Chain A
Amino acid sequence: MSADMNAAVDPVEVNLATRLGSLALHGPVLTASGCAASGKELSQFFDLRLLGAVVTKSIMVQPRSGRPTPRMAETPSGMLNSIGLQGPGIEAFIAKDLAWLVEHGVRSIVSIAGTNTSDYARLARRLSSEPGVAALEVNISCPNVESRGEVFACDPRAAAAVVAAVRAETARDIPVIVKLSPDVTDIVEIAGRVIEAGADGLALINTLLGMVIDTTTLRPALAGITGGLSGPAIRPVAVRAVYQVHAAFPDTPILGMGGIRTGEDALQFIAAGASAVSVGTAIFNDASAPARVHRELREALAARGYRSLAEVVGIAHVTSVGRDDALAAPVPPAQEVVVTAAPAAVDDSDIGALIDEVRAAPEVPANDSETTREVHL
Chain B
Amino acid sequence: MAVQVDGEVVAMRRVGAYHHMSFTAPGIPEQTRPGHFVALSVGGPTSSTLLRRAFSVHRVNERGLYGGTVDIIFAAHGVGTTWMASLERGAALNIVGPLGKPFALPREPVGCVLVGGGYGAAPLAMLAEQLRARGCRVDIILGAATVDRLFGVLDARRSASSVTVTTDDGSSGIAGRVTDVLPNLLERTGADVVYACGPMGMLSAISAVCEPLGVHTQCAVEESMACGVGVCMTCVLPVIGDDGVTRMLRSCVDGPVFRGERVRWSDVGTMPPDVLGAPQAVTP
Contacts and interface: CB of A to CB of B under 8 A. Distances in A.
Interface of A: 34-37, 41-42, 44-45, 57, 62-72, 74, 76-79, 81, 83, 86-87, 89, 146, 223, 231-232, 281-288
Nearest to B51: A74
A37 B232 CA distance: 7
A78 B227 CA distance: 13
Given A81-B226, A81-B234, A223-B269, 17 more contacts: A37-B231, A37-B233, A41-B253, A62-B277, A65-B279, A66-B271, A66-B277, A68-B269, A69-B268, A71-B236, A72-B224, A79-B50, A282-B50, A284-B50, A286-B94, A287-B227, A287-B229
A174 to B, nearest CB: 25
A86 to B, nearest CB: 5
Nearest to A31: B231
B275 A65 contact: yes
Nearest to A46: B4
Nearest to B233: A83
Contacts of A285: 41, 50-52
Nearest to A38: B231
B100 to A, nearest CB: 12
Interface of B: 1-4, 41, 48-52, 94, 96, 223-224, 226-227, 229-237, 247-248, 253, 268-271, 275-279
Contacts of B279: 65, 146
B277 A74 contact: no
A284 B231 contact: yes
Is the contact region of chain B dominated by helix, strand, or loop, or is it mixed?
loop
Contacts of B229: 41-42, 45, 287
Contacts of A78: 50
Is the contact region of chain A dominated by helix, strand, or loop, or is it mixed?
loop
Contacts of A282: 50
Contacts, number: 112
Q: Most A CB atoms within 10 A — which of B2, B224, B277? A: B277
Contacts of A66: 233, 236, 248, 271, 277
A65 B277 contact: yes
A68 B96 contact: no
Contacts of B41: 285-286
A232 B45 CA distance: 13
B238 to A, nearest CB: 9
Contacts of B231: 35-37, 41-42, 283-284, 287
B95 to A, nearest CB: 11
B270 A68 contact: yes
Given A67-B271, A72-B226, A86 B96 contact: no
Contact of B48 (A77, A83, A288): A77
15 contacts: A44-B1, A63-B276, A67-B271, A68-B270, A68-B271, A70-B269, A72-B226, A74-B49, A74-B51, A76-B48, A83-B232, A232-B48, A284-B231, A284-B232, A287-B231
A37 B250 CA distance: 12
Contacts of B278: 65
A281 B234 CA distance: 13
Contacts of B248: 65-66, 86
